[in-house]
Amino acid sequence: MAVSVDDAGNGLSIPSGVVVVGSLHLDILVRASQRPRKGETLPGQSWNYKPGGKGGNQAVAAAQFGASVSMISRVGDDDFGVRLLEHLKSAAVDTQYVSVDAESGSGMSVAIVDAEGDYGAVIVSGANLHLSKAEVDKAELLIAKSRVLVLQNEVPEVTNLAAAILAKDHGVRVILNAAPARPLGSDMAAKVDLLIVNAVEAEMMGGVAVTSLSTASRAAAVLSDQVPAVIVTAGGLGLALAVRGEPPYTEGAHPVILLDTHGAGDAFVGALSARWASGKLLKEAVHFANAAAALFVSTPVTQKGAIASDQVMQLLSDGHR
């Protein structure tokens, strides 16, 4: 159990089905007809703030789909940090182990979303790069009482490894969303139960270009030589799951109208971790998360936070009629 404190100073026992160790960024989203080429200036239609970072997005999504979630992260002592913490709390994510860095600014990004809903982004990691092993060690009891630990590659590798070691010492499943892609060391590979990568990351890490579901399946199989289970997400094509000792599994994307793909991968990871932590089998969790991501990309930005598990189940039910 994580112990938080309410406004009256009373200790509250909060179950932590999912613990996310990772990044928090305040995203500035700019909408334009297209993304500019080098040296080009384009007019945009609008801009807005969006609390994000892969860690924060995944924590919020896991809570959105029913998990009790705690976050281990770091923000700066600035307005961005205040916004990020308020967003987590409003999403019912426990922030006891989100520390405030007095020297480094909060992480942030600028993303340009084009008319087709695709985007490109630049990230300034800031305080996320200073999230330390010591901060993770302080949260050992929190991790020990969880069911799933979720990691990404927007914080230092040594911090991720420390969290993964604690998780495995206590029999907790470890998900690594290897984004952005970086080499998977043997020490980390030995602690990861499930690796999740997109098509670009799969090619960078495994050398297989993902252009179809069959190549996604091949890429997942190659990477499963390093970890027990691998998911390769391939955008509008769907996904592939490779589990050692089991037949390969692929699932096509749900046919939806694409509105905005920003954060879709994080919605997938959050939904999957919530479902897996609830006791569902991995393939069931994958099936649920694929539908959740489809709803996410086909829902207007201002309404994404209202997507609920019953809507996901309805989409799955409709797909089987």
**Domains contained in the chain, CATH given:** 19-192+254-319 (3.40.1190.20)
The winner for highest mean pLDDT among 36-40, 135-139, 178-182, 258-262 is: 135-139
User: Percentage of residues in the chain with pLDDT exceeding 90?
Assistant: 80
Encoded tokens for 143: 């991790």
Q: What pLDDT was estimated at residue 16? A: 52
Q: Which helix (H) or strand (E) holds 195?
A: strand 194-198
Comparing CA positions, the residue from 195, 273, 206, 209 lying closest to residue 237 is 209
CA gap 250, 214 in Å, rounded? 8
Collapsing DSSP to helix, strand or coil, 180 comes out as coil
6 noted as active-site residue: no
Summarize pLDDT for 286-311 with one digit per residue, the tens.
Answer: 999 999 999 999 999 889 988 999 99
Say if pTM beats, i.e. exceeds, 0.85: yes
Summarize pLDDT for 129-155 with one digit per residue, the tens.
Answer: 999 999 999 999 999 999 999 999 999
CA gap 134, 87 in Å, rounded? 25
Collapsing DSSP to helix, strand or coil, 143 comes out as helix
Encoded tokens for 90: 């409003």
Computed on alpha carbons and rounded to an integer, the radius of gyration of the chain in Å comes to 19
Q: Which residue of the set 27, 78, 94, 266 is catalytic? A: 266
Give the residue-averaged pLDDT of 234-262.
Answer: 92
